[in-house]
Each structure stands twice: as structure tokens, then as C-alpha cells.
Amino acid sequence: MPALPPELLDIILASVDGPTAPTTLRSCSLVAHSFVCPSQRLLFRFLTLRSKTIAAVSARLAAHPHLASHVRDLHVDIHLCSKIYEEALMATFRLLSKEHVQRIAISSYSWQTWVWDSFSEDFRHAFVSLLRLPSVRCLALTRCRGVPLGLIRYALAFYEEVGLLVASVDAKQYCDFTVPPSAIDRGCTDNSLKHLLLNYSPTQTAALHSLIMGEGFSPPTDFHGLRRLELAVPTQGSLGGLENVATRYSASLQHLVVNFWQRHDQPVVLPALPMLKSLALKASVGRLRIPEAIVSTIINLPPQTLPNLEVLRIIVDAEYDASGKIIDSNRLCEVDMALTELVQGKQLREINWGIFSNDAVAFEERIRRVLPRTTAAATGRLLFSFSTWSWKSKHDPMVHFCL
């Protein structure tokens, strides 16, 4: 068949999306020789290492080392407390540590504890070499316990995005995370951090909290490049000390996400954030509704504390749709007035309602019906928008990253 220009071929294959994308790309790789490399580049851009597949993946990469050069996103979903997979993981890490991985997400099935010292020195060296790649910009740790404190210190100092959904850290486990010359060559400093996602309890992980506040560095540092911050509410009605992180970096913070998860009975009080442009309030619920925590937080959101707020997002992850009150009828008037006051401000330009649901049209109709003042005030003044979030984005291990 006539050869297509490589640029056109890349555009065509990049349009392949959805759950059948891997199968489609594998079929495309068989069309012609010119399709092989572009198809493989997309097939292996995202690589997941799981306990059931790590042996096969390691063998495939060992037989075809060029495939490792395509990996940009790496998801390690294996207990880092078991040595069963050590050899396969180590071989894969060694191949990838010579390449161009950019984003790494490490998760555990059930809050497993890292037993860093139980692994061989060769494994630890391979793992550290991967994390020290000059191409790595993002790291997310999900459902992890006992994470070596040195690893987190290094991530905060040299990555642009860091997600820490951890229950505990271990300051005693030694990690050789000395600064590599490559990091210095590419201009990395302790001001590289732009996006930080936090889900931990400051009272239970004081050493980690000290690092986040810039106090666990010598000399103490200031992440004055931090622009995005996501905080998960650790207890009902309180950020549990995480609000101090927002205050600490309020001079540069422009985007804040408060995730209530399922702790949505009581509001939280946000600190004054003079530079904030975007605020997102998220929650997970059973029946589709705007939970009380988000409603009360909006009602208790004085515009003067967020003078430069441009975008307000309310994002709800519901298990099912059902008829019923979308907002508690006892709070309708209060939340309508609070949103109207925000709308009438000079800076706000958009209120966005996002749901994980297929019935966005019905949701929009219900919101507009129960918030008539806000709807009327928004008409012609700002964007009053509605959007849906796909299942893929909800469960994507790279969903924490923006870059």
C-alpha cells in the first residue's frame, strides 16, 4: 500500500480511543511495516505492572528491548512488601531506567506496608535508578504505608507533580537518593514542584507533614512554584491541619481541590487564599445529590477570602442516579443566595457542575430548577456549565496528574 506521511499516520492512530483501543492498535500494527512503530509507540506508552502479568511483561521487554523506549507512563500495582516478583520487577526497572519514563504511579491493593530493607541491594538500586531518571516529572503513591521518607523528600525536591495518598512513612529506612548530576544539568531545584495531592493525617504522620511544610529540608525550603493543591478531608468537618499547607503556599497557589470522599456530613472552613483562581469541591455519594458538606462549605465561603476566584467546580461521584432532592430543601435558599453573591462578584466567570453519570441533561435541569437566583444571575454574566466524567478518567491511575 502507498506509504502515508509519518505525521498523518500519527494523527490517525492517536484518534484510536476507548476500551477497544489496544486491540485496534494491535491490528493496525499488522497493516503494513510503516504502521508497526507508530502503533507500538501508542500501545506501550502506558505500561502497567501487576502481579499476574509482570512475568510475561518482563519477558516481552527482555526479548524486545526497543519496546521499553516507548513507555512514558508507568503504573506499578504490585505489593512492594513481597519478594515474589523481585527478579521480574528488577529486570523491568533496569530496562526502563535507560529510557524516557515521565510519570510513575505506585499503588497497593490494601494499604500494604513497604518493607524496603527486605529487598536485595540490586533491586533497590534498580528502583532508585528508575526514580532518578532525568525524564521523570511525576510520582503518585496510593494506598501505601511505611514509605521511606528519603523517597518522598527526593520527589518533593525534584518532581513537578507529587501525589501522596499514604498512611505512614518510615524515617528509619535508608534510601540512597542523593542528587544525580543529570538533575542538576536539567536545572532542577527545590522549586520544581507545581502540583501536590495530599491524603494523609498530619497528626499521625508528623514527619511527612514537616516535609510538606518545607521544614524537613536542610536548609528549609519554600515551594514557591506550587500552583495546584488537592487536599483530602481526613476527618468529618475538618482538614485536620492540611489547611495549613494551603496557607503556607497561599502566595503562589492558584488551584485548590478539596476532596470530601465519603466524609460529607459537615463543611470545612477554608483559609484566605488571595491568589486562588480555581476551587473544586469533590465528594463521593450513593444517590446522586450535592452532599451537605459541599452545600455548607459554599454557604460559608465569604467572597472576601477568595477575591480572585474565577472558577468554582462542584464534582460528585454517585453510585447511582435516582429521583429525589438534589439539594436538601432546608438549605436551598441559603446555597442559592451564596452562589448568587459569588456570581455577582467581579472575578467569577464560571460555575461548573461535574458528575460521573450518563444523565447530565436531567441533572442540569434539576440544578437550574432548584437554584433560580443563581441561574438568573449567571445568565449573560458567566458560564454556568455542566459536564460528565467518564469511568476511564475515574479509574485511570494517572488521573492525579495534570501535566
Q: What is the pLDDT of residues 331-358, one digit of tens each?
A: 889 999 988 888 887 778 899 998 876 6
Q: In this structure, are 92 and 176 located in the same domain?
A: yes
Q: Does residue 303 form part of some domain?
A: yes
Tell me the pTM. 0.87
More confident residue, 402 or 80: 402
| Count of Cβ atoms closer than 10 Å to residue 26 Cβ | 12
Q: In this structure, are 262 and 204 located in the same domain?
A: no
Is 43 exposed, middle or buried, given 0-12, 13-18 or 19+ CB atoms closer than 10 A?
buried
pLDDT at 277: 95
Q: In this structure, are 187 and 112 located in the same domain?
A: yes
pLDDT at 181: 46
Of 165-179, 222-236, 316-330, 387-401, the poorest mean pLDDT is in: 387-401
Distance between CA atoms of residues 246 and 270, nearest Å = 9
In tens, the pLDDT along 20-41 reads 778 888 888 888 888 888 888 8
**Last residue of one domain, picked from the residues 226, 259, 277:** 226
Q: In this structure, are 218 and 304 located in the same domain?
A: no
State which residues form the domain around 378: 250-388
Q: Does residue 140 form part of some domain?
A: yes
In tens, the pLDDT along 143-161 reads 888 888 889 989 998 999 9
Q: At what angle do helices 121-131 and 149-158 cross, to 10 degrees?
A: 20
pLDDT at 311: 93
CATH number, position 153: 3.80.10
pLDDT reading at 109 higher than 80: no
Q: In this structure, are 207 and 258 located in the same domain?
A: no
Q: How confident is the model at residue 2 (pLDDT cuts 50, 70, 90)?
A: low
Q: In this structure, what DSSP letter does residue 235 have?
A: B
Q: Does residue 242 form part of some domain?
A: no
Q: Does residue 10 form part of some domain?
A: no
More confident residue, 179 or 348: 348
Q: Does residue 30 form part of some domain?
A: no
Q: Tell me the C-alpha to C-alpha distance, in Å, between residue 77 and each of 121, 141, 142.
A: 21, 10, 10
In tens, the pLDDT along 273-322 reads 999 999 999 998 888 889 889 999 999 887 788 889 999 999 988 877 76
pLDDT at 47: 92
Hey, is 185 helix, strand or coil?
helix
Nearest to 133 by CA among 193, 190, 181, 201: 181
CB distance 75 to 107 below 8 Å: yes
Q: In this structure, are 68 and 191 located in the same domain?
A: yes
Q: In this structure, are 220 and 303 located in the same domain?
A: no
Of 52-56, 110-114, 261-265, the poorest mean pLDDT is in: 110-114
Q: In this structure, are 76 and 173 located in the same domain?
A: yes
User: Which amino acid, 241?
Assistant: G
Q: Does residue 58 form part of some domain?
A: yes
Q: In this structure, are 212 and 259 located in the same domain?
A: no
pLDDT reading at 328 higher than 60: yes
- Please count the residues of the chain: 403
| pLDDT average, residue stretch 356-384 | 82
Q: In this structure, are 279 and 217 located in the same domain?
A: no
Q: In this structure, are 217 and 254 located in the same domain?
A: no
Distance between CA atoms of residues 11 and 18, nearest Å = 16
Q: How confident is the model at residue 110 (pLDDT cuts 50, 70, 90)?
A: low
Cα dihedral sign, 68-73-77-81:
positive
Q: Does residue 238 form part of some domain?
A: no
Q: How confident is the model at residue 14 (pLDDT cuts 50, 70, 90)?
A: confident
- Number of domain units in the chain: 2
Q: In this structure, are 384 and 270 located in the same domain?
A: yes
How big is the chain by its Cα radius of gyration, in Å? 23
Q: Does residue 237 form part of some domain?
A: no
